[in-house]
């Protein structure tokens, strides 16, 4: 018996990430090869024509799993009945702008979207925030959608996780699918901490620790970390645009594992609400190692696992901006809440 379609919202759908993401969703990459979908695409009025062009291409691609497309600039229409919301749209930081200025702009965006999701999305809607600053935007969204459970609001650090897997794969000349259990701690920014202390590689003689196979702590503790931390900037320098294809792919990975579950013995990195694990203050949205089952994520409590100390002796746990779900008004510019 065919499954009922799931409704998936993509905000900022006419942008680069959205353009890369929507065909992946329509092809079954996000929710599975047997899961029909109805795409809800939202963008701002100046992008309405481009958004309609994306809709035309989706129709022209004749994806068998795609059972409908809603392309709109109306936030209520976009959010109505959605089961999954991927928040790609946001105000980008421009040259000369302070972080607080970007946050103020994003509050106005996320306030209306959060209210619409809270009022009109399907029960138990899962929310993934991609737009930067992702951790902070997720907290802003939760502030204005208090009835959405904390466990249903996440942010994307899977891109950083996948970047770490890719670097290990290239270093060891192995298939990336044979590398697992790297961890991204912290924020989706250059303050994140990529950790390979529990990572393994599948070999002909069984799983081996990454540290053992690489056998170069100087590289693992230095170049590897900085490469992952600065990969986004390197792509902008090379492409003149930010990561789009890889961001879209990792968003699919994030939702797929959340909805369908992680493989046995594998954990992944997700930006989720801290419960105080590893000494990270409760109420922050922070990247942890998690496993997923039955549509729920759970922070891994691994023996010997700890939030490493970043360069300079500063605990990586302290590098996340001090904003939490109960006190964002004290941390964000006052004009955001007028």
Is position 161 annotated as part of the catalytic site?
A: no
Listed as ranges, residues in the chain with pLDDT below 50 are 309-338
What does DSSP assign to residue 332?
S
Per the residue annotation, which of 188, 198, 254, 306 is the catalytic one?
A: 188
Residue 13 in marked binding region? yes
Report DSSP letters for 239-306, one per residue.
HSS---HHHHHHHHHHHHHHHH-PPTT--EEEEEE--SGGGPPTT-EEEEEEEEETTEEEE---TT--
Query: Given this model, what pLDDT does residue 108 score?
Result: 85
Query: Given this model, what pLDDT does residue 313 score?
Result: 33
Query: Given this model, what pLDDT does residue 233 score?
Result: 85
Residue 106 in marked binding region? yes
Query: Given this model, what pLDDT does residue 1 score?
Result: 79
Query: Given this model, what pLDDT does residue 232 score?
Result: 86
Q: What is the pLDDT of residues 1-33, one digit of tens each?
A: 789 999 999 999 999 999 999 999 999 999 999
Query: Given this model, what pLDDT does residue 191 score?
Result: 78
Residue 16 in marked binding region? yes
Q: Distance of alpha carbon 287 from its chain centroid, rounded?
A: 10
Q: What is the dihedral of CA 267, 273, 278, 280, to 10 degrees?
A: 150
Contact 14, 47 (CB under 8 A): yes
Q: What is the pLDDT of residues 55-110, one digit of tens each?
A: 999 999 999 999 999 999 999 999 999 999 999 998 766 656 565 677 778 888 89
Q: pTM value?
A: 0.90
Residue 310 in marked binding region? no
Residue 279 in marked binding region? no
CA-wise closest residue to 272 among 290, 260, 255, 251: 290
Which region, left, alpha or beta, applies to residue 294 given φ > 0 means left and ψ of -120 to 50 means alpha?
left
Contact 10, 22 (CB under 8 A): yes
Say which residues have a Cβ less than 8 Å from residue 297's Cβ, sequence separation at least 6: 151, 154, 258, 270, 272, 290, 291
What are the backbone angles phi and psi of residue 28, rounded to the nearest 5°? Answer: 95, 5
Residue 88 in marked binding region? no
> Domains in the chain, please, with CATH?
6-155 (3.40.50.720), 158-318 (3.90.110.10)
Cα 94 from Cα 96, distance rounded (Å): 6
Cα 128 from Cα 122, distance rounded (Å): 15
Query: Given this model, what pLDDT does residue 94 score?
Result: 60
Query: Given this model, what pLDDT does residue 182 score?
Result: 97
């Amino acid at each position: 018996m065919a499954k009922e379609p799931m409704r998936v919202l993509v905000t900022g759908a006419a942008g680069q990430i959205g353009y890369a993401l929507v065909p992946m969703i329509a092809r079954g990459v996000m929710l599975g090869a047997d899961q029909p979908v109805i795409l809800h695409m939202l963008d701002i009025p100046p992008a309405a024509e481009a958004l309609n062009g994306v809709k035309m291409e989706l129709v022209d691609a004749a994806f068998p799993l795609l059972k409908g497309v809603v392309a709109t600039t109306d936030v209520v229409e976009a959010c109505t009945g959605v089961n999954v919301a991927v928040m790609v749209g946001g105000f980008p930081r421009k040259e000369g702008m302070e972080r607080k200025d970007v946050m103020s702009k994003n509050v106005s965006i996320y306030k209306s979207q959060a209210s619409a999701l809270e009022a009109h999305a399907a029960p138990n809607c899962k929310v993934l925030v991609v737009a930067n600053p992702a951790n902070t935007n997720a907290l802003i969204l939760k502030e204005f959608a208090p009835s959405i459970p904390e466990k249903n609001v996440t942010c994307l650090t899977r891109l950083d996780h996948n970047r770490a897997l890719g670097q290990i794969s290239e270093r060891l000349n192995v298939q990336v699918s044979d590398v697992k259990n790297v961890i991204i701690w912290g924020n989706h920014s250059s303050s994140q901490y990529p950790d390979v202390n529990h990572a393994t590689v599948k070999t002909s003689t069984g799983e081996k620790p990454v540290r053992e196979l690489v056998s170069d702590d100087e590289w693992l503790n230095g170049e590897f970390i900085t490469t992952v931390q600065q990969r986004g900037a390197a792509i902008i320098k090379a492409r003149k645009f930010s990561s789009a294809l890889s961001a879209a792919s990792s968003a699919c990975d994030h939702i797929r594992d959340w909805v369908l579950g992680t493989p046995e013995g594998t954990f992944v990195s997700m930006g989720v609400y801290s419960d105080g694990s590893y000494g990270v203050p409760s109420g922050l949205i922070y990247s942890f190692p998690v496993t997923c089952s039955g549509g729920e994520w759970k922070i891994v409590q691994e023996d010997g696992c700890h939030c490493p100390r970043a360069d300079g002796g500063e605990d990586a746990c302290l590098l996340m901006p001090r904003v939490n779900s109960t006190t964002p008004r004290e941390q964000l510019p006052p004009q955001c809440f007028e």
